[in-house]
Amino acid sequence: MARRLLAAADLVVGPVVAVGVVAVGLLVADRITVPAGSNVGLALTATGGALVAAVLAAAAWARSPLVAAPLAWVGLAALPAVPLTLLLANTPHYLFGVGGDQQFRVAFLTRFADSARLADFAYADMPPYYPAAWFWLGGRAAALLGVDAWAFHKPYSIATLAATSVLTYALWALVTSRPRAVGAAVATTLAGFVTLAAYSPYSWLTAALVPPLAVLGLRLVRRSGAWIRTALLAGLVLGLAAVTHTQILVFAGFVLTVLAADGLVTRRARPATLAVTVVVVVAAALPLTLVHWLPYLLASAGQPTYSAGQHFLAEAGSRWPLPMLEATPVGALCLLGTVWVVARFRTDPVARALGVTAACGYVWYLLSTAALAFGSTLLAFRIQPILTAALACGAVWAVVSLAGVLRDRGVRAGTCAAVATALAAAVVVGQVQSVPADYAWTGTAQDYRPDGTRPDGSRDPADANAWLGELRTTIDGLTGRPPREVVVASANATLHSYAPYFAFQASQPQYANPLADHPARTDEVRRWAAAADPAGLLAALNRAPVRAPSVFVLDRAGDGTLRLPLAQDRFPDPRQGAEPAVFAPQLFDDPAWQRRDVGPYAVLVRAGVPPVP
């Protein structure tokens, strides 16, 4: 009973403690001034890593689980929180500000901070395609705390990474001893650092759980232990993946399927009992899965769709990951783990589960390359963190095996443990202090506040984003409506990150909901721009097959024309730019339109358009 209560505490109390650790860390970091170009941040990060390593060592050495568990929660939460809070100490934004992928992520949070209604981050009148659970929870939490969604993005992301480390420990503690669970959770978190998993915390939330889930899955296949509770837990993890990141769900299902097939081939599993297990797992995963996917599936029935989400080939996805050959602390872990997994694959269930996970990762890369022949990919770079974590975790068991060999040769157990702890601490410090350099590329180049100022209060009128505040004030003043009731076709995509306006078109095809049919909407915009006169434009807007924008935010060109930038899916060509839609200013010379010029933009608002319900 005590063991069950402690396991429940790991899953419930542990993440709460992790959030508290992050809150304290942010309060401390906000009082630290790190001069630009100095090594102060690096020194603090290195020292912080050493302190975290000490706490984790104490958790591994503690004999009482009642002492070890809280120490593990605090140490594992601090492991990602310390370097990231220090790295971002001088900015209110998370990694990369509101640039790149963060643009639509902040927009998603902003959508749900404004309303609890399940909706797409960009398009009106349709359910979301990208799993929305992480964004919904973050948006509602921001609303509850009275914090702007863009400002909540940073603490929420770091808290997610901290809670993920603790949840990883909780799952590992179900299949191994607590000291090994600490080691596996540390290895997983460090693997996340080197694969830049922190850039996408909502996908790492379940990606980090795949290696221990594979071990749990192998137990299910072999029906060892309390299989019903294990099946329910596995189903809940899959359900969590279904509402946070679809690709992780598919990959985790792939790993579990291979493990099931392995059980049948090796005759470790009976078909009838395995079928019952699968039913229990699916039944546990289905409720969460349907919360997100049922509205989308109902809306898409019989409707044309276009998805460019898979049309992206990152550098990390174009070459096979070989972390065991990298000259980093995690590379050393992966090398050691690879040797152990291969050597013990036939005899140790943990080695078998980790080996299958890594092998599935390489198969995924192979299939992703093959998909290029069909004009798509499987976004293999998303699997790299899982593959790396699986091999790094193997190092923990390798060290334990090596210690056993040394004990057999007369070396004292305490000596072996002390050496292993010292080496583990060195790995932690070494990898943590490299975080500032590893994540330097994220920068804060688009680190703007909603009013267009920088965090230090400065403002550059020559910068298009310097006019964000005026744009919002102008749109809200002319429409007289809350942003959630307005559809905007905007030349400034950042505008949607700070206010819950709906967009007529997503800024990039890869972000677009398949129900929106991104190419068709682009063609529709060009038809509007080609209208012969104001009456023709209004008629074209009225005939639009989808809700037309009531607000245009257009670039004012030097020749007097008004332009709306457009994007085009040209995969595998990485260029997405397209010729902008060019509107003659005379098209808006009608009483139906109000125009205000704001910096380099022209804001045009059409009166009498029904609001978005």
Q: What angle do CA 470, 476, 480 make, to 5 degrees?
A: 150
Which residues in the chain come in under a pLDDT of 50?
445
Question: pLDDT (tens digit, 9 = 90+) per residue, 119-146?
Answer: 999 999 999 999 999 999 999 999 999 9
DSSP states of 460-514: -TTSGGGGHHHHHHHHHHHH-S-GGG-EEEES-TTHHHHS--EESS-SSGGGS-G
pLDDT at 79 (0 to 100): 97
Neighbours of 270 (CB within 10 A): 12
Q: What angle do CA 269, 273, 274 make, to 5 degrees?
A: 60
pLDDT at 445 (0 to 100): 46
Q: Return phi, psi of residue 591, to 5°.
A: -60, -20
Amino acid of residue 302: G
Helix (H, G, I), strand (E, B) or coil at 124: coil
* Beta-carbon contacts of residue 19 (< 8 Å; ≥ 6 apart): 159, 162, 163
* Beta-carbon contacts of residue 145 (< 8 Å; ≥ 6 apart): 152
The encoded tokens of residue 574 equal: 């990485």
Alpha carbons within 13 angstroms on the beta-carbon side of residue 281 total: 22
- Contact between 224 and 432 under an 8 Å Cβ cutoff? The reply is no
pLDDT at 91 (0 to 100): 84
- Contact between 551 and 542 under an 8 Å Cβ cutoff? The reply is no
User: Measured in Å, how far apart are the chain's first and last C-alpha atoms?
Assistant: 52
pLDDT at 331 (0 to 100): 96
Helix (H, G, I), strand (E, B) or coil at 106: helix
| Eight-state DSSP code of residue 372 | G
Peptide bond into 534 cis (omega under 30): no
pLDDT at 447 (0 to 100): 64
What are the Cα distances from residue 438, in Å, to 36, 350, 361? 17, 30, 23
* Beta-carbon contacts of residue 5 (< 8 Å; ≥ 6 apart): none
Candidates 500, 504, 470, 497; CA nearest to 482 is 500
| Eight-state DSSP code of residue 381 | G
- Contact between 191 and 39 under an 8 Å Cβ cutoff? The reply is no
Classify each residue of 147-167 as buried b or exposed e, where b means 16 or more C-beta atoms within 10 Å of its C-beta: ebbbbbbbbbbbbbbbbbbbb
